[in-house]
Structure 1
Amino acid sequence: MGRGWGAVSWGAVRGDLPASLVVFLVALPLCVGIAVASGVPVELGLVTGVVGGLVVGVMPGSSLQVSGPAAGLTVLVAEAVDRYGLAGLGTIVLVAGLIQIGLGLLRLGRWFRAISVAVVHGMLTGIGLLLIAGQLHVLAGADTPPTGLAGLTGLPDLVGKLTGSGTAQVSLAVGVATIVVMLLWDTLPGRPGLVPGALVAVVAAAGAAAALRLPVDTIEVEGLLTAIRPSFGHWGGLADPGMLATVVTFALVASAESLFSAAAVDRLHRGPRTDFDRELVAQGTGNTVCGLLGALPMTAVIVRSSANVRAGARTKASRVLHGVWLLLFVAAVPGLVGLIPMPALAAVLVHAGCKLLPWRALPELWREHRGEAVVLVVTAAAILGTDLFTGVLVGLGLAVVKTAWETSHVRVTVHDDVDPVHVAITGNATFLRLPTILTTLDGLPDDRRVRLDLGGLRHVDHACRTALDTWIEAQNRDADVGVQVIAPRPAQDDRPRPVPAAE
């Protein structure tokens, strides 16, 4: 195919068909695992993957990135299901999708690129830690904790349970073996490129658990028609401020994750670049459909997308076909999912959570931009201590404050060896630097005249302007001292006005 769905070329088909199989095999265990971790029927995760392929896959925006349920939304979805139920989740996803469509039509997609990378890394770090902490309990045969923080605080008790329960030890052994198989598979020099390690590990765990009759929990399968609960709007819940906040969080986090994924995928190939506004409309359309079906929310997912590019995909056909394979799997052999042990899926999610952690980014930030590293750590800590929405807001606020602090450089130079004392203020005078300015001015000799040079100021905000006016007026009350301003200061209307010098 050419740049889209134009003329078919045999070279494109040869690349897209095997690539679609690779993406399908990568997506299958992740769709199932994310659904289980989110507290919804496994079929709903597969439905979201199908919608990501068949609906979002054909829409304009990006060319090679793949959409589906994302590990980054797992914690948020689990909290929403616990608070509002599956019906409420459908409404939340539907409205969040409509918001995304509106943002794209208003051409606001490009503005998501203005979000601090440190905040995004912090968000993913917090999500990754919560995901790991929660799935470690499942790995040991325990129930998923009600909140991410409970998962962290409950880890010491989990260790105690492991020492006294043979069933928990067997479950942990299955989970650890699954992780080991995934890691070893990726290091094999002659491994088949079409088969991902996660699928190999899950199939091996399922086979071992069935053959040895191990006492581990397996996935419960409801059936596709039973699991899908069409949601045509439980609009009354939107009167709840908490639900509205959850809707906005879904929309913003899903949009940011999708567009950052698009930017990353664009660096992996030489094909057409992503149109961020159109991609946002496509993601919103997918989430609207998922909301109507009562399925999980979706984002563009970097793991599946990078696998698609590495497998040789050339056009959108690969991601559409991956949706076809998922649909055929759900329709033909859903019972196979019921053979998968829960600790094996938990191991896949622990592995996915570890990939969300900034193993390389944080040390580099600390060496080169320590302020950014602090923003990352604070954002992650705020998510762990509160919730995703609050944590991201804290991170964004801190990033804004950090930027304001860094850009408000001001220098106060005092020459007291001349008469009058010469004081020069240069740079950007904002309220963040007001303590420095006033401390210097208040420390000047009380019995000497002052020449205040403000010619080097590029910007003066209202707080600093008011403080300087007040200080000058106070000094000018003493005719024997006083202040001579030898450069104009910005007035309220930002036009320079002279300040009379003291006689």
Structure 2
Amino acid sequence: MVTFKELKNDLPAGIVVFLVAVPLCLGIAMASGAPLFSGIIAGFVGGIVVTLISGSQLGVSGPAAGLAVIVLHAIEGLGSFEVFLSAVVLAGVMQLVLGFLKAGSIGYYFPSSVIKGMLSGIGVIIILKQIPHAFGYDESYEGSLHFLEPSGETTFSLIFNSLRYISPAAVIISALSLAILIFWDTVLSKKGKIFQIIQGPLVVVVLGIVLNLVFLNAFPEMALRANHLVELPVATSVGGFFQQFTAPDFSRILTYEVLMLAGTLAVVASLETLLCLEATDKLDPQKRISPANRELKAQGVGNIVSGLIGGLPVTQVIVRSSANIQSGGRTKLSALIHGVLILASVIAIPGLLNLIPLASLAAILFVVGYKLAKPALFKAMYRGGLNQFLPFVVTVLAIVFTDLLTGIGIGMVVGIFFILKNSYHVSHTVVKEKSQAGREKYRIVLAEEVTFLNKGNILEELRRVPEGAELEIDMSRSAVVDPDVIELIENYKETARSNNIKLHVKQTAEDEKLEYEGMKF
């Protein structure tokens, strides 16, 4: 439910997210090989339709950079954007089904170290990707989260190339904007309510427009040109505006190519949404928990609507969601405002928005990226031990040098390795004492859950029991013992006999110690 109780916080946050989202929508559409207006459609559908259905208070949905490569290859392979739209609609239907099947719980099985690594990795990527825009080099599209750019350049080669095309106007605008944002955040925001209502990002956007107009009139050779500014499509009439919408072609919807594409979009979009949902909840100052299954349903409806009117696939997007949180958003009203503003702006004021320098937006995103990847977080993860720090830092590096989903996958592999390693070592405890008969007595107490992964560790422990000793295997605390481990104990019978080891087992707390021959499994 949308409420207006936090309007003073949600309105400025919604405007900031809107300003950040517009170039992202356009850039992702360009990178996807789709009409630019399809990115705008996905932006306002994600902001309005998904927000109204979603249970996430701070998540913001729209076209995702993580799907750009899939979309690009799909449109090229199908040879028709209209046929591609039918796959988007079908993917939305599949997401609805996943929501009703309660598949949203998948997101809860990702380790927190990987989620934090994802957030920090995205923060680093945001900063690196905005450096060229701050220098005035705007050849690469806005919003890429891939290390390898569509142009063939990498994140770092693009930064080095930007040094050869430095625009003094862009540097002045980005430097002043960054200084104002830092000063606003650290000093002015604590001085009075007016500085909390009027957010720093709004000020730097206005400053960027004014400065560039000054340059245009006083120093025309310095002024930023159209390719350094936001580029919204401008319709010359009402009819021209509605002609930018595209209807899907369902004639090939049951073909193998379309069905496979729809399934791929549904799975990847759902996974990205669930990860962003989890990450957004972690960033939420109020620590609210969003209903994952409801989010899948909301995304499904959003993709159905987006596909029907010519939009790109929609997911919850961490860049916009984090910008929403860092700008003071409190409820889903901020995301709704951002969606309404995208729709209203392309109808009413596309010309005014096209005056906003990308350098101003770069400064805003620098701050967003820093807040996601603060050095304090790296220190805290390091103090948490290798089990936490290594999956975290591997996820960060993998995201920076690959892309979002690949990086998360690599981080998960490292995280799972440590989970298995810990499981391997906590399979049992060993107590050593002297028995009444004077023998060395060993007592192996199995853990609550013993899986096949613990088989090697338990076998090594059994091999350490010396000849002539007394051994008790206590299974009374175990709720689950894997058949592989039971088979291991059974096979150990002959070893115990040949080594003169007196073997006992305790199956439940009430059991007497039974000779091995009397054990029942």
TM-score range, shorter chain: 0.7 to 0.9
2:231 to 216, 220, 238: 220
Instruction: Find the counterpart in structure 2 of residue 197 from structure 1.
Output: 200
CA offsets 1:131-174 (integer angstroms, 9 cap, x no match): 333333343315328873346995665565455x3545654444
SS in 2 for 1:482: coil
Alpha-carbon spacing, 1:369–1:238, altered in 2? closer, same or farther (3 Å): farther
Unaligned runs of 5+ in 2: 236-240
Matched, 1:102 2:120: no
Alpha-carbon spacing, 1:175–1:237, altered in 2? closer, same or farther (3 Å): farther
Instruction: Find the counterpart in structure 1 of residue 238 from structure 2.
Output: none
Amino acid of the residue matched to residue 339 of structure 1? Answer: L
Deviates more, 1:224-233 or 1:362-371: 224-233
Give the Cα–Cα distance (whole angstroms) in 2 for the partners of residues 319 and 158 of structure 1. Answer: 32
Matched, 1:253 2:289: no
Instruction: Find the counterpart in structure 2 of residue 183 from structure 1.
Output: 182
The alignment-based identity, stated in percent, is 22
Q: CA contact under 8 A between 1:67 and 1:299: conserved in structure 2?
A: yes
Deviates more, 1:378-387 or 1:240-249: 240-249
1:59 to 44, 48, 53: 53
Alpha-carbon spacing, 1:326–1:134, altered in 2? closer, same or farther (3 Å): closer
2:118 to 99, 115, 123: 123
Deviates more, 1:119-128 or 1:386-395: 386-395
Give the Cα–Cα distance (whole angstroms) in 1 for the partners of residues 335 and 402 of structure 2. Answer: 36
Instruction: Find the counterpart in structure 2 of residue 112 from structure 1.
Output: 107
Alpha-carbon spacing, 1:143–1:53, altered in 2? closer, same or farther (3 Å): closer
Q: What is the RMSD of the two structures over their aligned residues, measured on CA atoms?
A: 4.2
Q: CA contact under 8 A between 2:99 and 2:293: conserved in structure 1?
A: yes
Matched, 1:78 2:77: no
Instruction: Find the counterpart in structure 1 of residue 213 from structure 2.
Output: 210
CA offsets 1:401-422 (integer angstroms, 9 cap, x no match): 4344435342234558976443
Amino acid of the residue matched to residue 30 of structure 1? Answer: V
Give the Cα–Cα distance (whole angstroms) in 2 for the partners of residues 350 and 89 of structure 1. Answer: 35
Alpha-carbon spacing, 1:167–1:81, altered in 2? closer, same or farther (3 Å): farther
Alignment of structure 1 residues 473-488 onto 2, 5 Å: 473-476=494-497, 478=498, 481-487=499-505
Q: CA contact under 8 A between 2:145 and 2:403: conserved in structure 1?
A: no
2:16 to 21, 26, 49: 26
SS in 2 for 1:193: helix
Alpha-carbon spacing, 1:166–1:138, altered in 2? closer, same or farther (3 Å): closer
Q: CA contact under 8 A between 2:89 and 2:305: conserved in structure 1?
A: yes
Instruction: Find the counterpart in structure 1 of residue 344 from structure 2.
Output: 328
Alignment of structure 1 residues 229-378 onto 2, 5 Å: 229-232=246-249, 235=253, 238=257, 244-245=263-264, 247-258=266-277, 260-261=279-280, 265=284, 267=286, 275-292=291-308, 293-295=310-312, 297-299=314-316, 301-304=321-324, 309-310=329-330, 320=336, 323-357=339-373, 359-368=375-384, 370-378=386-394
Give the Cα–Cα distance (whole angstroms) in 1 for the partners of residues 375 and 266 of structure 2. Answer: 31
Deviates more, 1:42-51 or 1:211-220: 42-51
Instruction: Find the counterpart in structure 1 of residue 428 from structure 2.
Output: 410
Give the Cα–Cα distance (whole angstroms) in 2 for the partners of residues 323 and 396 of structure 1. Answer: 33
The size of the alignment, in residue pairs, is 470
Alpha-carbon spacing, 1:309–1:171, altered in 2? closer, same or farther (3 Å): closer
1:50 to 44, 63, 70: 44
2:139 to 129, 137, 143: 143
SS in 2 for 1:295: coil
Instruction: Find the counterpart in structure 1 of residue 409 from structure 2.
Output: 393
Matched, 1:69 2:88: no
Give the Cα–Cα distance (whole angstroms) in 2 for the partners of residues 318 and 129 of structure 1. Answer: 25
Report the TM-score when normalising by structure 2: 0.74
Matched, 1:461 2:482: yes
Instruction: Find the counterpart in structure 2 of residue 499 from structure 1.
Output: 516
Alpha-carbon spacing, 1:103–1:497, altered in 2? closer, same or farther (3 Å): farther
Pairwise CA distance, 1:326: 3.5
Amino acid of the residue matched to residue 26 of structure 1? Answer: V
Unaligned runs of 5+ in 1: 6-11, 491-495
